[in-house]
Amino acid sequence: MNPVPASAERYLEVQRSEEFAQLRHRLRSYIFPTTVAFIVWYSLYVLLSAYARDFMAIKVIGNINVALIFGVLQFVSTFGIAWHYSRYAAQKLDPLADDIYKEIDNGPSAEPAAAATDGGKA
């Protein structure tokens, strides 16, 4: 059997599927809280730098002050988030996305009769 390119209807069917909804939910449940947490963390750094100069100027070790430590931690947290997301995606998102891709690649749904009898509702 030759694979047939997926049609626009097939993509819409996949978009409405439970698997795609689960993929979207997993992605959003990671991305939104992580983004909010990072924006809060970054905003704290900026606000402290602007309004708590005395605190940020406290020397910790030698000429290394709190502001420098917070600045370096911005980079560390960015790389940490990227590393953690790549692990999360490899474990939770990619397998589900691969299954959805294979389903699209294999052509029409295996249950066209069932979809036709219930009006396409899942």
Q: Which residues of 78-110 are buried (b: 16+ CB within 10 A; e: fewer)?
A: eeeeeeeeeebeeebeeeebeebeebeeeeeee
Q: Which helix (H) or strand (E) holds 60?
A: strand 59-61
Q: What is the pLDDT of residue 112?
A: 47
CA dist 66 and 49 (Å) reads: 10
pLDDT band per the 50, 70, 90 thresholds, residue 100: confident
Residue with tokens 């990671």: 30
Strand partners, 59: 65
- Going by C-beta distance under 8 Å and a sequence separation of 6 or more, which residues neighbour residue 105? 3, 6
| Number of Cα atoms under 13 Å in the Cβ half of residue 121 | 2
Q: What is the pLDDT of residue 96?
A: 93
pLDDT, tens digit, for every residue of 32-88?
999 999 999 999 999 999 999 999 999 999 999 999 999 999 999 999 999 999 999
Residue 94 is classified by DSSP as H
Single pTM value for the model: 0.72
Which of 7-21, 59-73, 96-110 has maximum average pLDDT? 59-73
Question: Is pLDDT at 22 greater than 70 in this prediction?
Answer: yes
pLDDT band per the 50, 70, 90 thresholds, residue 6: low
